[in-house]
């Protein structure tokens, strides 16, 4: 059985890694939004349905990353709550 300090340390490591992932997620979201903007710029006025579909996929991907960021933040808060109660 792990000691309280070992549990706190493990929770700290978990929240540190989760916090690192937030930066990577933000970078991914920024890149996807830049890709969408570049596509929109070069295909402006196009009547091809694939263009609209590609833009919709980019928007959906960026939105889902936002959802993941919220979930990670909630997990960090919950883990820190556990640590605080130890």
Q: Give 38-59 pLDDT, tens digit per residue.
A: 999 999 988 888 999 999 999 9
Distance CA 68, CA 80 (A): 18
**The predicted structure's pLDDT at residue 46:** 85
Name every residue whose Cβ is closer than 8 Å to that of residue 57 and which is 6 or more positions away in sequence.
none
Q: Give the separation between CA 34 and CA 36, rounded to whole angstroms.
A: 5
Q: Which residues of the chain have pLDDT under 70?
A: none
């Amino acid at each position: 059985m792990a000691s309280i300090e070992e549990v706190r340390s493990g929770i700290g490591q978990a929240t540190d890694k989760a916090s690192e992932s937030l930066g990577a997620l933000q970078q991914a979201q920024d890149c996807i939004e830049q890709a969408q903007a570049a596509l929109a710029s070069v295909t402006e006025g196009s009547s091809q349905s694939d263009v609209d579909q590609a833009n919709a996929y980019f928007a959906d991907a960026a939105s889902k990353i936002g959802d993941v960021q919220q979930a990670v933040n909630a997990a960090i808060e919950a883990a820190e709550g556990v640590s605080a109660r130890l």
